[in-house]
Chains A and B, each alone.
Chain A
Amino acid sequence: MKENEQRLLDAIADMKEDEALALAKAMLDGGENPLRVLELCRNAMETVGKRFQDGEYFLPELILAGEMLENIGLMAKPLIQKGGAAAAKKHGRVLIGTVHGDLHDIGKNIVTFMLDINGYEVKDIGIDVPVERFLEEIRAFQPSVVGLSGFLTLAFESMKETIEAIARAGMRDKMKIMIGGGQVDETVCKYTGADAFGNNAMAAVTLCRGWIEA
């Protein structure tokens, strides 16, 4: 790896935003292949994800890293030649959304981010998602795993309803369902009929690994 490439990787991983953006800009201005720059960003994200997993990084770092990636992406994407699209994701598909009645999204966004940098193709269908919309999205996207997110206690019922509707639609055995959010625990998991629950974003990654790559 070239010296400036390593510096870009380190700057992103070490949360030096100004330096990272300046380095990326200089590399792109100097004619560096934009796909290479984005690949470096992805590598840096893996380091960020690892530090998150190790308990060194938390929400501020994930969000800042996400914004750095977004800004570098904005600089790089117009320079990408046609046909040079980024490599396809290696692993399976995960559909994720916050269940109906609940407007919270921080936890869901972090799970989406962590699954994404761990190589899953994630479709995030937003907050306050009605049961019917989950069914439509599942039919269209054909995920291996569905993640239901919710912060409020009302989400227990919404998760249960969503999972029951998936079962009624005859799709329950085609996927694993995981739930997560502030109040979710083993009791809620049983109550809703989910396959598993998680209390943090790494739990979601671990669950998907167990289910998809087994």
Chain B
Amino acid sequence: MGADDKNLIGQRLQRVLDAVALKRPDRVPVAFHTMLWYAKYGGISYREVMYDYDKAAALGRRAILELDPDIYSPPQQFTTLGRVLEAARFKQLQWPGHGVGDNQPYQYLDREYMKPEEYDDYLFDPTGFWLTTYMPRVLGAAEGLESLPALPGYFYMRLVMGTRAFAHPKVVQAFANLRAAGEVANGLVAALNEFTREMDGRGYVLGQGAVSIAPFDLVGDYLRGARGILTDLYRRPGKVLAACEKAIPFILKAAISTCKASSSRFVFIPTHWAPDSFMSVDKFRTFWWPSFRKVLMGLIEADLVPVPLWEADCTSRLETIADVPPGKAVYWFERTDLARAQSVLKGITCLRGNLSPSLLNTGTPEQVDAAVRGLIENIGRDGGFILDGAFGIPDEAPVENVRAMFKAARKYGG
């Protein structure tokens, strides 16, 4: 590594940290985040880029070196998931070759994964519910764990004899399947670590050391499904609130331990049920925000930087979500107007975003250049802004438009 590289390492990190701390950086930092755009970039199929670690890593490396962002997301976090999904026999997703075509993105299957009467099971014993009900329901590899008994009922000699539960053929098979899936996951993590070590060495800032979730979104998306959670707000509001509260320490433990094991302090949190059009401000303040704020505060107290991606338009939420300590979080907005967001959040959180996907996918490089210039001029160079796409780089964006985005960021960001 040359002296210039070493110098760059400090520069990019300092630039990002200054933006987060709401101090003026040497120039506006720019982030590179995508799911499947590597396939477009490399002229290969989505399926290929989801399964081939080497090809994905090579494309990721090439893209980062060419585009030269300050912060990046590695392809092993949101792209090369095919083999692990397959090994775990994951049932909540369709991905290329598994339910959708080779050139279609992976898509979540919105279903009721927890019945309304099971709220009590979750609230009574989240771990037991996860292990013996939820995991077998969503992971084919975990099928058989339903046969495990309620272990805290075993004690003394009964506990010793209780080990026979682990010799149950279905449980034995489930653990064997899970071990095999876990080894595939370890292979992916090894590829991830190799990639991030290299990029750390080149001075690029890892955009997220962990991915986390809002408690309401966990209950809504991954347990109850859209129809379930929305009607629960009227049918069993107390259960929704209790489940959100119950999830907080589990969410925090997972995010903090994962992030602390990485070289990044950033925790990426895509939010799903926050947008204006989903529920009234009152309901947002009652059901969505309080438990999420506790997650944000828990991450901040652990010296991590939460980066919630506020999906869709969250304009009516701005006053509510402004209630966080200054300079400790990055709020990434997808469709909320950044100038409007800044009018409420200036001096509170760093903003990130939000070149529209319609522009990146269907515009010209000149239009992208003009839009980057406009954003930087409107939102400002004085700190508290990281340039990015509305949801990173869309999978379909023409390469020349993406090049134009990063070129313009350097041209106008200083």
What is A's interface to B at a CB cutoff of 8 Å? 15, 17, 56-60, 63-64, 67, 101-104, 106, 152-154, 156-157, 182-185, 187-188, 191, 199-200
Contact = CB atoms under 8 A, between A and B. Distances in A.
B107 interface: yes
B234 A156 contact: no
Contact of A153 (B107, B110, B312, B394): B394
A182 B356 CA distance: 11
A154 B396 contact: yes
Interface in B219-240: 226-227, 230-231, 233-235
B277 interface: yes
Nearest to A200: B277
B226 A60 contact: no
12 contacts: A15-B234, A60-B230, A60-B234, A64-B231, A67-B231, A102-B107, A153-B361, A154-B104, A154-B395, A182-B312, A185-B356, A188-B358
B104 A63 contact: no
A59 B396 contact: no
Contact of A63 (B227, B311, B335): B227
Contacts of B109: 103
A187 B363 contact: yes
B357 A17 contact: no
Nearest to A18: B235
Given A58-B278, A102-B107, A183-B390, 20 more contacts: A15-B234, A56-B280, A57-B280, A59-B230, A60-B234, A63-B227, A101-B101, A103-B94, A103-B107, A153-B357, A153-B361, A153-B394, A154-B105, A156-B361, A156-B362, A182-B312, A183-B358, A188-B362, A191-B358, A200-B277
A27 to B, nearest CB: 22
A182 B391 CA distance: 12
A12 B235 CA distance: 14
Interface residues of B, number: 35
Contacts of B234: 15, 17, 60, 64
B279 interface: yes
A156 B231 CA distance: 31
A159 to B, nearest CB: 11
A18 to B, nearest CB: 9
A187 B230 contact: no
Contact of B278 (A59, A102, A156, A199): A59
A63 B224 CA distance: 14
B283 interface: yes
Contacts of A152: 105, 107
A158 B167 CA distance: 52
A65 to B, nearest CB: 10
A63 B358 contact: no
A200 B94 CA distance: 27
B256 to A, nearest CB: 31
A179 B357 CA distance: 16
B104 A187 contact: no
B359 interface: yes
Interface in B275-325: 277-280, 283, 311-313
Instruction: List 6 A-B pairs, minimum CB-CB distance, nearest first.
Output: A187-B358, A153-B394, A60-B230, A191-B362, A188-B358, A60-B233
Contacts of B361: 153, 156
Contacts of B233: 60
Given A15-B234, A103-B107, A187-B363, A60 B358 contact: no
Contacts of B279: 58-60
Contacts of A58: 277-280, 283
Contact of A187 (B110, B278, B359): B359
B83 to A, nearest CB: 23
A180 to B, nearest CB: 12
Contacts of B227: 63
Contacts of A101: 100-101, 104
A187 B359 CA distance: 7
B19 to A, nearest CB: 26
Nearest to A152: B105
A183 B311 CA distance: 11
Nearest to B227: A63
A57 B233 CA distance: 13
A157 B394 CA distance: 13
Contacts of B277: 58-59, 200
B260 to A, nearest CB: 34
A99 B227 CA distance: 22
Nearest to B360: A153
A197 to B, nearest CB: 10
Contacts of B105: 152, 154
A60 B357 contact: no
B39 to A, nearest CB: 12
A191 B234 CA distance: 41
Nearest to A156: B361
B360 to A, nearest CB: 9
